[in-house]
Structure 1
């Protein structure tokens, strides 16, 4: 009897334990499901809020250039000034994420000229709210000289600007880092056919010259440098003599760092913030640097694609698009060409000529020199293509500032009169 009671009690105990465990497990799963759903709903709500961010409106840069963002066909469009005289536009989409409590989107943008190497970063600040959240727009292709920053309020730059300019007095020139130029220098370059100082046009178009003054920091040596540009004088900041503020602009003291600058000789550079009267009595919307005592030279911020305003490209100056031509698009090759001997050829955009010839792709084109086949019946020759700035690798006696053609069986160091130019 006692044994049976013990068995009964044991069974009841095991049933009780089983029910208790089942209840606890059920409770645990219900709680987990609740928190997962709650978290998912919260994330979904945040995501939906971010996707509805309206960044449309007017923006301004620190140097007074303007930009406008609008929503068109389910993508954003930004129209902006790269300088007071130059405008551009681009389209982009947003992909939002949270970054230190700020909403950030970084995506590729496509400029109106088809250039796609720029990224556009939008930041909506959560800790700088006034009447509306502060929004900044940064466009960059990785080159600091090309970076553009806009904000939906001027106050953003006033705060940042004051902090940066105050840092100058401590020897931090970040507020003026970058490349500089002026109208006189740019006109001289344009008047030379963009070949001044031995460069070719492509060097200027792609900003691959050492002609323009520049302020930069040598991170390895941890020192600020000033490069004078075409004169090739190099200076380093005199850390023993800190910059001074005079009437809202700055006198910064450098010493020569190469033989052209005369090593250790003092050089004074005046940094003038935008909208500040400089020592020359001039006020502009752009940052400037000035040097020289009796004959002061002033430079303003370098303008991307500054050379475009000097180019009034006529039909006979139109360059050759080599990649397109070698793909069968002869539109940039079309026109009348004449050489120094008076020979003339008219090339049509369909690859035919006025002499009954036909152009075709040369599958064995010389790797040193792009060529086409030009044939009439059973006879044929090569048509060599020279775009602006490209020189004959076998020896060049032509004007490389213009597009040129050469026709022949074997094309090497041909004489000057054999080159065809647009008529």
Structure 2
């Protein structure tokens, strides 16, 4: 099988998956306090507008905190998402969060159906209430992204780490911006405790975090306070790039499962 045919096949699979995602969604709402990062044709991923966006400089520092968990594509394809769980961030500060149920977001969802292409696993992410969608590709560490995915070269990403990337068509290496894991799996051990505290919104969680652990100009990156199948929390980022998980019961965790506050 020649390289031209392989390239045509892989791009056809990617395009087919993206068109499926787009065909069943409508224009996404803006102004949501919680979002899942969306990606464009250059994989410059943009999330539904939340409180603010972060700078590339603070975000890039967090890319170095990836855990040792390795993606198990066979298990994920079979419905076991434990190796995918955690928070993933690209250099622009966009975040994707996964737990044991899959993608955590109030504004987007994934299809849960997977396609194998060139040894990589691909699924579709779709907006819950708006036009938009993209193919999400999962790449385990130690594996190069095939050149068939790029128009102008070979894989520019860090192959020593697990990666996720979104695409709507063929990619450019110049603008390629994959997601790397920046935190460990959720939920945390005390997130189900009965504390007498119930936080109701992203802004409330920001005010609460400021009161309990200090003001770092917190912004909401992701949240799931209304998702009944997951332990409710908001993921906040400080002006110094730090990440914290503010659970609806008032328990706050930092990176590496560090318990910062409990009521």
**TM-score normalized by structure 2?**
0.37
Higher strand share: 1
**TM-score after normalising by structure 1:** 0.24
Larger-gyration structure (1/2): 1
